[in-house]
Amino acid sequence: MSLITWTPEQFATNVVTHDNEHKHLFNLLNELHRNVGKNERSAIGASLDGLIAYVVEHFSSEEKNMAAAGYAALDQHKLEHAKLVQTCADLQAKFHAGAAEISEQTTAFLRDWLIEHIPKVDFKYAPTLSANGIH
């Protein structure tokens, strides 16, 4: 069962590159969630590592395009990204050290972050990127 489903009505920024990246993030988060449900620590670790690595890659892609387009709110957007990356990196380190577990609460937190962030924050960069030929 999927934890989160990408729908254009809810999540399309109309910047195809980033919409495709968001779809991939959703797939990775759903994979992590499935592995949490199976309670397979090695699979959870692999999914967690893959998801966090892709989050960093995606955030870099968005930030590069926002900078290229001269997006005025880039610094604030980068701060939001940095906070999530730090939270994830801390959790990842604790998980691999055996000091924390990844639970359905963890995947729900990530889902809720995406549900809030994409429509309320990412949608704001779309007009600037589109106006500067970034699709």
pLDDT digits (tens, 9 = 90+) for 11-25: 999 999 999 999 999
Q: Does a structural domain hold residue 7? A: no
Q: Does a structural domain hold residue 4? A: no
Q: Does a structural domain hold residue 40? A: yes
How confident is residue 1, by pLDDT bands cut at 50, 70 and 90?
A: confident
**Are 4 and 26 contacting, i.e. CB atoms less than 8 angstroms apart?**
yes
Range of the structural domain that residue 55 is part of: 14-131
pTM of the model: 0.97
User: Which of 1-5, 6-10, 56-60, 77-81 comes out lowest in average pLDDT?
Assistant: 1-5
CATH of the domain at 107: 1.20.120.50
Give the CA-trace dihedral at 103, 104, 105, 111, to 10 degrees. 120
Q: Does a structural domain hold residue 103? A: yes
pLDDT digits (tens, 9 = 90+) for 36-92: 999 999 999 999 999 999 999 999 999 999 999 999 999 999 999 999 999 999 999
Q: Does a structural domain hold residue 2? A: no
| 129 has pLDDT over 90 | yes
How many Cα atoms sit within 13 Å of 39 on the Cβ side? 0
Cα–Cα distance for residue pair 47/29, rounded to 1 Å: 8
Domain count, the chain: 1
